[in-house]
Structures are given as structure tokens and as C-alpha cells.
Amino acid sequence: MASIGEKKALRRAVLAAVYRLSDGDTMPEYPPGEVAITPEVHDVAPLASGPDVEQAIRWNVSQGFMTSSGIAGHVGITHHGVNEAEQILEAIAKRRELDAEEARATELGDEMERMQRENAATIALVIVTPEQRATLEQLTSALQRAVEDGLDLDSDDQAEVQVQIDTIQTQLRSPRPRAGVIGTALKALRWTGGQTIAGILGNAAYAGLAAFM
């Protein structure tokens, strides 16, 4: 059994179908079998059987939107039905326009995310210069000594600091250390007791890491 929403949608679709069949002319009448429920006239598209369509035709006739005459029950559209059908078709067109805009927005969002991923990948491939390597080696050595001496951090934060220092030192041992990887580790250090680390290194030295963050 069709739901109330499906019945309403079918009534609108039948009226819109007769409108398209007659091109808005109130004079012609057509056999009910010629009333085709196509995507152009249906914004819900439930499965419509013959009896469902006939019931929708009777409802439209009772509302004064359509006419039915003769033994075969040929149907036509009234002036009132023309106005109603045009509103239905305009609403369908508007909905599809909004759906298309939403699809374009989604596509644009996906494209922007793809570009961000590509940019992130490009940044990660930037090679650290020899001068930057020397600065980083000095700073990570100072941090490592501070960790060994005991930082004023809880155990979880101190463990996180050690992990990030290890990451940076591993990159520095590589013949091609990646600035993006080092930058990610430095950002983690900044948010894991960053003020304490700035105090250890000195504000000027800590500020010198900004190029990687």
C-alpha cells in the first residue's frame, strides 16, 4: 500500500503528465493509458500501477484540476489544473536546480580537499637545508638533555615530547630530512608543554623554529 506521501506525489505527477501531454491546452482529452508518469513530471517516483493512476485521476477530477468524459473516461486538464500543474513543474525544476547546485558544491569541496592533500604532500617533500639541519640538531640536543634531566611535565606529556624528539632526530639522520615531517613534530611539541620548551631553548631559539611550523 502506498504511503500518504507517495499518493500525493502521484496525484501531482498525473496532473503534470496531463499538462505536458496537452501542452497546457484545456481542449484535448486523452485515454488514461496515455498518461505517462516520467521523471520529468515526478519528484518522488514511487512505483505506480494502473489502479493507482486511475485513483489519482479521480482525485484530480474531484478537485477540479482535470476532466473525465465518455465511457472510456478520456481525461483533460482544466484552467485551474493548468495553474496547479505549472506550479508543480516549477517546484520540480527548482528542486533539481538546488540538487545540481548542491552536487557542484560537494564536487568543489572534494576538489579543495584533494588540493589540500596534494599541497600537504608537496610540503612534506621539502628538504631541510644544511643551515636548518644544524639549528635543529642544536635545539633537539638541548631538548633531549632537558628530557633526561626531567621536564616539568606529567608522564604522558613527557613521553609525547620524547616521541617527537625521536622523530626529528630520525629525520636529521636521513640524507634527505623532510621539512613537513619535522614541522609536524615541532607543532606537536608546541602544543605539548610549548611554554616549558620555549623556556628551555630561550624564546629567540624557539621562535627560530617557526619556519618549520
pLDDT in tens, 32-75: 888 877 776 665 555 556 678 888 999 999 999 999 988 788 99
**Which position has the higher pLDDT, 70 or 198?**
70
Residue 72, classed as helix, strand or coil, is: coil
Domain range for residue 35? 4-91
Asked if residue 149 and residue 83 are part of one domain, the reply reads no
* Assigned domain for 175 exists: yes
Asked if residue 137 and residue 75 are part of one domain, the reply reads no
Under 8 Å CB-to-CB from 13, ≥6 apart: which residues? 37, 41, 42, 43, 44, 45, 48, 56
* Assigned domain for 42 exists: yes
> How are the residues of the chain apportioned to helix, strand and coil, as percentages rounded to the nearest 5?
70, 5, 25
| Boundary of a domain, candidates 74, 91, 108 | 91
β-strand partners of 69: 74
Contact status, residue 96 vs residue 40, Cβ threshold 8 Å: no
| Boundary of a domain, candidates 69, 91, 113 | 91
* Assigned domain for 99 exists: no
pTM for this entry: 0.50
What does the pLDDT look like over 84-103, one tens digit per residue? 999 999 888 888 877 777 77
* Assigned domain for 104 exists: no
Under 8 Å CB-to-CB from 116, ≥6 apart: which residues? none
Asked if residue 86 and residue 139 are part of one domain, the reply reads no
Distance set, CA 11 to CA 4, 48, 120 (Å): 11, 11, 53
Which CATH number characterizes residue 73's domain? 1.10.10.10
Q: How many domains does the chain have?
A: 2
CA-based torsion, 89, 93, 98, 100: positive or negative: positive
